Amino acid sequence: MKKHELTEKYFGNKLSDEEFGRLEQLLEQDDQLRDGFYHELEVRRAIAHEKHSTLKKRFQELDRNTKKKTRWIPYAAAIALLISIGSIIYGSGPNYGGLYTDNFEVYPNVINLVTRGGDETENSETTAFEFYEAGNYDKATKAFDSLYKKQPKDYLLFYKGVSLLAQNRTEEGIRALESYGWDLNGSDFAIASNWYLGLAHLKQKEVDQAKTFLKKVATSESNLNDQARKLLKQLD
């Protein structure tokens, strides 16, 4: 087996014990292989750091919320001031399409962090998220849709909605996201759904509806609240 096949297998967790021993030996002997391989390990580390940052933010928020809740008052006052200044500066009519493109970004995959293993449904879920992460939103939409029909988990509908929006199928996206009571059911994706509905309505120049959704986000404790406040400021 070529040495690069060994390192490739290492990253796919596919090495046998024997092959692992061989790799270990080669790393001792081959400087070039070793340098390259350690660089690859560092790259993997950097990617994991990025991938984990969404969940870490969630935990940090959780930590904050379980501590005292009084600290937000000065911030809220400062933001209110900024909003009022902002509304004076930004007097002219906003460009809704531009605001949409400035703010739209697909939601990170927080559900399916790793590939490998599991039963059949789970694997098709993995495939759906792979399409999603690969930016193949057409296929992702179809996959999330058929999964949702089999098992109505809220996040499947959510990612279907975002996949539609990402293809500029805005009306369909709105319909999908409005077909479920996110707030009512206390969904984990309630705030994110409100955010995307706000943006989507904005794109359709339905400003009042957009504002209703964005206000919900702005008053929430999610880390999207800042962005929602800024956007609302630009709309006033």
Partner 1 sequence: MIKDQYLVDRLKRNDLKTLDKVYLTYKKEFFLFARTLNAQEEDIADIYQETIISLYENVQNGKLKKLTSTLKSYVFAIGKFKIYKHMDKTRKLYHEGQVIHISEEMQLFETEALEEQRQVLRKSWKQLGNKCQQILELFYYKGMTLDEIQEVLQYASKDVLKSQKHRCMAQLKELARERYEKA
Q: What is the 3-state secondary structure (H, E, C) of 86-133?
A: HHHHCCCCCCHHHHHHHHCCCCCCCCCCCCCCCCHHHHHHHHHHHHHH
Binding of residue 134 to partner 1 (CB under 8 A)? yes
Residue 200: CB minimum distance to partner 1, A = 22
Binding of residue 105 to partner 1 (CB under 8 A)? no
Closest CA to 187 of 111, 82, 119: 111
Residue 104: CB minimum distance to partner 1, A = 15
Binding of residue 28 to partner 1 (CB under 8 A)? yes
Q: Which of 150, 153, 175, 205 binds partner 1 (CB under 8 A)?
A: 153
d(CA 104, CA 195): 10
Binding of residue 34 to partner 1 (CB under 8 A)? yes
Residue 205: CB minimum distance to partner 1, A = 29
d(CA 98, CA 203): 9
Binding of residue 69 to partner 1 (CB under 8 A)? no
The burial class, CB within 10 Å (0-12 / 13-18 / 19+), for 192 is buried
* Interface stretch with partner 1, choices 89-97, 128-136, 168-176, 197-205 (CB under 8 A): 128-136
* Interface stretch with partner 1, choices 3-11, 82-90, 159-167, 214-222 (CB under 8 A): 3-11
Query: In angstroms, how far is CA 120 from the centroid of its own chain?
Result: 24
Binding of residue 1 to partner 1 (CB under 8 A)? no
Q: Which of 1, 2, 13, 88 binds partner 1 (CB under 8 A)?
A: 13
Binding of residue 205 to partner 1 (CB under 8 A)? no
Binding of residue 32 to partner 1 (CB under 8 A)? no
* Interface stretch with partner 1, choices 34-42, 167-175, 200-208, 212-220 (CB under 8 A): 34-42
Binding of residue 24 to partner 1 (CB under 8 A)? yes
d(CA 208, CA 206): 6
Q: Do 210 and 178 meet the contact criterion of CB atoms below 8 Å apart?
A: no
Q: Which long-range contacts (CB under 8 A, 24 or more apart) does 150-156 make?
A: 150/121, 151/121, 154/180, 154/182, 154/185, 154/187, 154/188, 154/189, 155/111, 155/188, 155/189, 156/125, 156/128
Q: Which CB, 97 or 135, lies closer to partner 1? A: 135
For partner 1, the binding residues (CB under 8 A) are 8, 10-15, 17, 20, 24, 27-28, 34, 38-52, 55-56, 58-60, 62-63, 66, 110-118, 130-131, 133-136, 153, 155, 188
